Amino acid sequence: MNNVITDSEYVKEQERKLQVIRSEVLDKMYEQDCTKHQLAKGTGLSYHTVHDFISERRVPKLDTIMRIARYLSIMINL
């Protein structure tokens, strides 16, 4: 059998991973009683970048996701 991943399967997998990361970010923010404003200030990102990522409006660049994860001490497996 040929285990070829189609483009749509790849996209679905990446979207699933992004959902897991968002969920972990929200969980950590809740645990640490961290607001979007505090997260933005602590990471050096704009509030709108943080808000758009959390509210699923935009997908930020990988380095932005890594900054958020590092700030909240989240381990990410890509």
Read off the pTM.
0.85
Q: With pLDDT > 70 as the criterion, what percentage of the chain qualifies?
A: 96
| pLDDT reported for residue 2 | 62
Tell whether the torsion through CA atoms of 54, 30, 71 and 38 is positive or negative.
positive
Q: What is the mean pLDDT of residues 57-77?
A: 93
Domain locations in the chain as residue ranges: 7-72
Of 63, 76, 61, give the one whose Cα is nearest residue 20.
Answer: 76
- Give 46's DSSP letter: -
Question: What are the φ and ψ backbone dihedral angles of 57, each rounded to 5 degrees?
Answer: -80, -35
Does CATH place domain 7-72 in 3.40.1000?
Answer: no
Tell me the chain's radius of gyration from C-alpha atoms. 14
Cα–Cα distance for residue pair 45/20, rounded to 1 Å: 21
pLDDT interval class at 3 (50, 70, 90): confident
pLDDT digits 0-9 by tens, 21-55: 999 999 999 999 999 999 999 999 999 999 999 99
